Structure 1
Amino acid sequence: MSKVKPFVAVVDDDESVSRAIKRLLRSAGLASDTFKTGDEFLDMFDSIPSYRPACIVLDIQMPGLNGLEVQRRLADSGIPVIFITAHDEISVRQQALAAGAAAYLRKPFNDEILIKAVRAAISTGPTP
Structure 2
Amino acid sequence: MLKKTQEAPVKSGVVYVVDDDEAMRDSLTWLLESNGFKVSCHESAERFLMALASTDRTTVACALLDMRLPGMSGIELQNRLQDEGYHFPLTVITGYGEVKLAVQAIKQGATDFLEKPFKEDQLYSVVEKMLSKAYIDQQQNLEIQTAQSKLKTLTRREKEVLKCLVDGCTNKQIGEVLKISLKTVEAHRANVMDKLGVNRAATLLKLAITHNF
Bigger drift between 23-32 and 70-79 goes to 70-79
Whole-Å separation in 2 of the counterparts to 1:49 and 1:35: 14
Structure 2 SS opposite 1:33: strand
Whole-Å separation in 1 of the counterparts to 2:76 and 2:114: 18
Greater share of strand = 1
Instruction: Give the TM-score, by structure 1 length.
Output: 0.88
CA RMSD of aligned residues (A): 2.0
State the Cα deviation string for residues 53-107 of structure 1 (Å, max 9, x = none). 6100110001111111111111232111111122432321221010111111111
Mapping of residues 16-31 of structure 1, within 5 Å = 16-31=23-38
Q: Say whether the 8 Å CA contact 1:9–1:53 is kept in structure 2.
A: no
Say whether 1:62 aligns with 2:69.
yes
Percent pairwise identity: 31
Say whether 1:125 aligns with 2:134.
yes
Whole-Å separation in 1 of the counterparts to 2:89 and 2:97: 20
Mapping of residues 76-115 of structure 1, within 5 Å = 76-115=85-124
- For 1:50, the aligned partner's letter is D
Please name the residue that 1:50 is paired with: 56
* More RCO (CA 8 Å, sep 6+): 1
State the Cα deviation string for residues 13-35 of structure 1 (Å, max 9, x = none). 00000000000001221010110
- For 2:112, the aligned partner's letter is A
The list of structure 1 runs, each at least 4 consecutive aligned residues, that deviate by more than 6 angstroms after superposition, is none
Structure 2 SS opposite 1:57: strand
Structure 1 residues not aligned, in runs of 5+: none
Report the CA distance between 1:6 and its aligned residue: 1.2
Whole-Å separation in 2 of the counterparts to 1:61 and 1:77: 21
Change (3 A) 1:54 1:92: same
Count, aligned residues: 125
Structure 2 SS opposite 1:74: helix
- For 1:96, the aligned partner's letter is A
Instruction: Give the TM-score, by structure 2 length.
Output: 0.54
Greater share of helix = 2
| Greater Rg over alpha carbons, structure | 2
Structure 1 SS opposite 2:97: coil
